[in-house]
């Protein structure tokens, strides 16, 4: 009898917790999609923290988030336990809280419209022994590669640079390795070409990995410098925080 009373008490406690009442306010975020709202908790244990609700007031997330960053086609969340999550702008989970760790971090909830980012793939990682292994997640929440890579970069022109050991190659949007891992340094593809380096030799390749003999590195030095500047700028903006 005593055991039954204890079990009933636990059930009542859980039910009571799930029905906890608290006050919140809706945040005026111009980049928020029409079907969801970002709210801030005004009282209780999670005062000052954030959550996501639909237009009927139903919670789509927990209310313990310290950051909710809305982008053009996805929403990045970070909770008080440093669990990361990713939602579509329809309010569906791409990666539930704590399911994945993301290489690209966001640090601002109130990004102006011109700084929004539209991504179809996200770089995720997991710890293996003393280093990280990287993979790619699509908007449907599916991994298109295993955790194979020692480093990984964003897709550009349908290709992404990935690293195995000390060498770089490229994969396509199906997760297939399409350019061999022979490069010491690589840059993103732009207009069908990418700058790469093998030892002291720096040159352009096409989307099949072939060296472009008519488009030498020295002939396009100005374009290469601009590519490097863009690469560094994007890395600084997107990769906030150490992995």
pLDDT above 50: residue 135: yes
pLDDT tens-digit profile of 154-185?
A: 999 999 999 999 999 999 999 999 999 999 99
Asked whether residue 49 carries a pLDDT value surpassing 80, the answer given is yes
Q: Coil, strand, or helix at residue 13?
A: helix
What is the CB neighbour count within 10 angstroms for residue 159? 21
Tell me 32's DSSP state.
Answer: S
Residues of the chain with pLDDT > 90, as a percent, come to 67
Distances in Å between the alpha carbon of 27 and those of 33, 80, 112, 121? 12, 19, 15, 28
- How far is residue 40 CA from its own chain's centroid? 23
Q: Is 124 exposed, middle or buried (0-12, 13-18, 19+ CB in 10 A)?
A: buried
Angstrom distance (rounded) from CA 45 to CA 237: 33
Contact at 8 Å (CB) between 150 and 164?
A: yes
Compute the radius of gyration of the chain from its Cα atoms: 23
């Amino acid at each position: 009898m005593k055991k039954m009373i204890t079990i009933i008490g636990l059930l009542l406690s859980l039910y009571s917790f799930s029905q906890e009442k608290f006050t919140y306010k809706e945040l005026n975020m111009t980049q928020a999609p029409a079907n969801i709202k970002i709210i801030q908790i005004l009282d209780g244990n999670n005062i000052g923290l954030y959550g996501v609700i639909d237009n009927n007031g139903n919670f789509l997330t927990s209310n313990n988030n310290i950051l909710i960053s809305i982008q053009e086609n996805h929403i990045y969340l970070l909770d008080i336990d440093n669990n990361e999550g990713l939602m579509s702008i329809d309010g569906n989970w791409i990666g539930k809280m704590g399911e994945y760790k993301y290489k690209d971090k966001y640090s601002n909830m109130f990004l102006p419209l011109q700084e929004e980012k539209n991504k179809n793939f996200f770089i995720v990682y997991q710890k293996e022994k003393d280093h990280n292994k990287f993979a790619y997640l699509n908007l449907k929440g599916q991994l298109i590669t295993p955790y194979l890579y020692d480093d990984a970069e964003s897709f550009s022109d349908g290709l992404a640079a990935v690293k195995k050991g000390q060498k770089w190659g490229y994969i396509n949007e199906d997760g297939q390795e399409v350019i061999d891992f022979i490069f010491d340094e690589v840059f993103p593809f732009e207009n069908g070409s990418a700058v790469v380096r093998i030892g002291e030799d720096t040159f352009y390749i096409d989307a099949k990995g072939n060296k472009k003999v008519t488009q030498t590195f020295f002939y396009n030095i100005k374009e290469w410098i601009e590519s490097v500047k863009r690469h560094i700028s994007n890395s600084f903006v997107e990769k906030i925080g150490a992995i």
